[in-house]
Structure 1
């Protein structure tokens, strides 16, 4: 689609309506979860007929896909911007946490329980690969692999199963670090955002920091 300056009034109007639909969709997700998302309910909230709304999104899955794309793109842009400003892996961890805390419903749409009956399209996988590439760029300088040094079993396994890393040339130790970072940081964030630490009377930010410190402590690859 043309940029906003070159867009026709009709195109601008269509973009505005789609944005409004997505705003109502996020409100629904916050209230009842993504599995309960309903275009007919959104149409009622907007004061239009259901068929009128289907001119903008063909169905629930297309709307969810748009929200998933927006969420992945938002995180990819957040991490890339942090990296461009000089953030190392610690800085990226804080950027990830800040992004997640800013909008937990957006976080859970892409990293929470899958929506029943919905399958994300391939282009969302491409955006998630951008996110991983940014992390791998930050992991490579933190790992060294000298010839003949023993490679940990997981690192060796990831080297043989590196499709998730795309065409990034990261060595096995960097793959290991990136995967450990992703699973451990998301583990803490998912529990925190889901409220599982509520009532435990400790600061989840300190746990996040401790996990990060432990992850980056000197160790064999």
Structure 2
């Protein structure tokens, strides 16, 4: 039995070559984030990353087939990081306010990661469907928390439109009015976050944390 266990561990363990490849890919992504922080995602250059690592361009392309594949990995990592953070909060039974606080904390911890996902689209880049699937996890957590609130106000014309075109909430049992409120929470909180992270509140004498909390209270009817 012990021999079989050892054999199983051996088959499941990464080889030195695989570990090295994973380390190099991780370093490439780290250098990419540094480049994004300096010049923005649209200026991402694999050749510049290769040079900073002492690699040739062709050598780096053995790890990522091109710029778009690298960007996709960064987008997946960003979405996965947020989804994991919100799942951890939801597992403790935290309400919508807890999820909202976790979203803001995640965004403030790394604004460049936030803007890669919700900032200006990168010219010529189209994210693959699996990144959208991770984003759907985040939206379902929001819908769960929103649907758990007191019954929302009667549906509006917009709520009916959302029910008709609810692919963004496909399979979720929330009624149209709850969909409407969830979407308002999502868009308005992101509006405050985007302005804060871009520095637009600087010099206005406003406390972005209090503004964010007040917006959430207004949206959930607790103001």
TM-score (norm 1): 0.93
Determine whether 1:117 maps to 2:124: yes
Q: Distance between the aligned counterparts of 2:170 and 2:83, measured in 1?
A: 15
- Please tell me whether the aligned partners of residues 154 and 177 of structure 2 are also in contact (alpha carbons under 8 angstroms): no
Greater Cα shift, 79-88 or 92-101: 79-88
TM-score (norm 2): 0.92
- Please tell me whether the aligned partners of residues 72 and 110 of structure 1 are also in contact (alpha carbons under 8 angstroms): yes
Give aligned pairs, total.
214
C-alpha offsets along residues 120-145 of structure 1, whole Å, 9 cap, x if unaligned? 00001111111101111111111427
Determine whether 1:173 maps to 2:180: no
Aligned partner of 2:35 in structure 1 is 28
Q: CA RMSD in A?
A: 1.8
Aligned partner of 1:100 in structure 2 is 107
- Please tell me whether the aligned partners of residues 40 and 50 of structure 1 are also in contact (alpha carbons under 8 angstroms): yes
Which ranges of 4 or more aligned residues in structure 1 deviate by more than 2 Å? none
Q: Distance between the aligned counterparts of 2:220 and 2:110, measured in 1?
A: 27
Determine whether 1:204 maps to 2:223: no
Determine whether 1:132 maps to 2:136: no
Greater Cα shift, 165-174 or 10-19: 165-174
C-alpha offsets along residues 95-115 of structure 1, whole Å, 9 cap, x if unaligned? 000000000000000000000
Aligned partner of 1:214 in structure 2 is 218
Q: Which runs of 5+ in 2 are unaligned?
A: 1-8
Aligned partner of 2:20 in structure 1 is 13
Which has more radius of gyration? 2
Determine whether 1:47 maps to 2:54: yes
Q: Distance between the aligned counterparts of 1:218 and 1:103, measured in 2?
A: 29
Q: Which runs of 5+ in 1 are unaligned?
A: none
